[in-house]
Amino acid sequence: MISGLTEDAIFENSEYAGHAGHVGPLQEFVVRKAGMHDIGPILSLINGYAAKGIMLPRTELEVSEDIRDFSVVVTAGRLLGCGALHFYSPSIAEIRSLAVAEDAKTHGIGRRLIEALVREASSYSLDAVFAFTYVADFFRKMGFQEVERGELPLKAWKDCVRCPKFQCCDEIAVIRILNPEYCRHFQQYRQSEESHLVQLPVLRGLEPAN
């Protein structure tokens, strides 16, 4: 899913002066799982980018159903960023719905979100997490590696079919390996009538991120 991130979302700028309503350098950032009271701010953040054609719009019902997927970054009672870990199989999940407030993009909010979501994936013993993005450099700095998009039929019919770029998707697929055995033994995820696995490209020469 297209994200409201830019490459500078990994950096922290301690020299940012801030002003009323904006993020200042002395404020404490808290990363936590989202609660139902976060639905409004999450929708505002995501749909603000959706209005610019950067992200897919989300409804209150959709975010309510998926709220347990979300983690958020807050400071002084304000939500600055959100991201979700969406499971596709017992072994792999997608990092999606990443968005950072416009005035907080030089405070490492994107990095904090990715780190939290990767930790969560590891706590579930997942083999890998993947994402679709236009800012591959940001994800490379976070230990992801670019791969061919392959075929993801479950994702396509569930999410991508609503996207205006469904027929001409130009997003980049990236993946981060969490389990070294995944590289040595995993060949492909295949969709079948007996499982809900997602078909990913054959991964050759990939190594787990440190």
pLDDT value at 154 more than 80 = no
Non-local (6+) Cβ contacts of 45 within 8 A are 4, 79, 81, 82, 99, 101
CB 171 within 8 A of CB 133: yes
Neighbouring C-alpha atoms within 13 Å toward the C-beta of 203: 26
Domain ranges (residues) in the chain = 7-15+27-185
Question: pLDDT tier at 197 (50, 70, 90 boundaries)?
Answer: very low
Question: pLDDT tier at 122 (50, 70, 90 boundaries)?
Answer: very high
Question: pLDDT tier at 193 (50, 70, 90 boundaries)?
Answer: very low
Q: What are phi and psi of 70, to 5 degrees?
A: -85, 145
Express each pLDDT in 37-93 by its tens digit.
999 999 999 999 999 888 888 999 999 999 999 999 999 999 999 999 999 888 889
Non-local (6+) Cβ contacts of 203 within 8 A are 147, 175, 177, 182, 183, 186, 187
Question: pLDDT tier at 203 (50, 70, 90 boundaries)?
Answer: very low
Express each pLDDT in 176-188 by its tens digit.
999 877 665 544 4
- The CATH code for residues 7-15+27-185 is 3.40.630.30
Q: How far apart are CA 90 and CA 29, in angstroms?
A: 31
Residue 178 CB: number of other CB atoms within 10 A?
21
Between 107 and 86, the higher pLDDT residue: 86
Q: How far apart are CA 136 and CA 37, in angstroms?
A: 32
Least confident of 32-36, 87-91, 201-205: 201-205
Mean of pLDDT values over 21-43: 83
pTM (two decimals): 0.74
Burial (CB count within 10 angstroms: exposed 0-12, middle 13-18, buried 19+), residue 134: middle
Q: Tokens 């050759």, residue?
A: 204
Between 75 and 105, the higher pLDDT residue: 75
